[in-house]
Amino acid sequence: MQQDTNVVYIARLKGSAYEMGYAYGQIYGEQIAKNFLNLQSYGRTKLESILGKLGVPSYIIDVIYGQIEPYIMYALDLNW
């Protein structure tokens, strides 16, 4: 289903939880990867926007993002 830029992928799957997860990844793996990269980019853009308004130089924003990115990935992993 698609509405503007929002897309919902629906698949009818059978099997164990592992088999269904594997099949879903095979079917929509490329879209999942794109969505993940978009999420990372969105977070980075928001951080740059907030810190940029405070006058923080971009090289310091790079260092800050490098420090917090592993925690963001961990939080996303916990969500699953």
CA distance linking residue 19 with residue 72, whole number of Å: 28
- 28-58 pLDDT, tens digit per residue, is 999 888 888 888 888 889 989 999 999 999 9
Within 10 angstroms of residue 65's Cβ, the number of other Cβ atoms is 16
pTM greater than 0.75 (yes/no): no
Residue 4: alpha-carbon gap to chain centroid: 19
Number of domains in the chain: 1
Host domain of residue 67: 2-79
Cβ proximity of 65 and 47 under 8 Å: yes
pLDDT of 2 over the 90 cut = no
Give the amino acid at 26.
Q
Cβ pair 65, 57 in contact under 8 A: no
